[in-house]
Amino acid sequence: NAGVMQNPRHLVRRRGQEARLRCSPMKGHSHVYWYRQLPEEGLKFMVYLQKENIIDESGMPKERFSAEFPKEGPSILRIQQVVRGDSAAYFCASSPQSPGHTDTQYFGPGTRLTVL
């Protein structure tokens, strides 16, 4: 039973380019969460999605960032016109059900984005 998969594991972009990060949840999981971790800091919630729906995007920057989780295929976190401050590890997590207070989120290995 494959865990949460993320690709690419490492991504290098120049300022102004677009970054696309992909996340395939665990089999049977329909809830996906994206987090960002800056160096030496904790994880910060960005967005929570179910298939074809954004449920909570309160942690997403207002500009340049977008996320989707289509009916078929992985969830995508897109960052347009990247800047150096976007350099971070981006983790995806999935859970099998709505985030009740006891559910467990399973994390993928992360994508490390470096903006030159």
Partner 1 sequence: RKEVEQDPGPFNVPEGATVAFNCTYSNSASQSFFWYRQDCRKEPKLLMSVYSSGNEDGRFTAQLNRASQYISLLIRDSKLSDSATYLCVVRVRTGGFKTIFGAGTRLFVKA
**Residues near partner 1 (CB under 8 A):** 33, 35, 40-45, 48, 55-56, 58, 89, 91, 98-102, 104-105, 107-110, 112
Give the 3-state secondary structure percentages of the chain, helix then strand then coil, rounded to 5.
5, 50, 50
What's the rounded Cα separation, in Å, for the pair 88 and 106?
19
**Considering the complex, what minimum distance in angstroms separates the CB of residue 16 from partner 1?**
27
Kindly tell me which of 66 and 109 has the beta carbon lying closer to partner 1. Answer: 109
**Considering the complex, what minimum distance in angstroms separates the CB of residue 22 from partner 1?**
15
**Considering the complex, what minimum distance in angstroms separates the CB of residue 50 from partner 1?**
11
Paired tokens of 1: 């039973």
The secondary structure of residue 26, as a DSSP letter, is: P
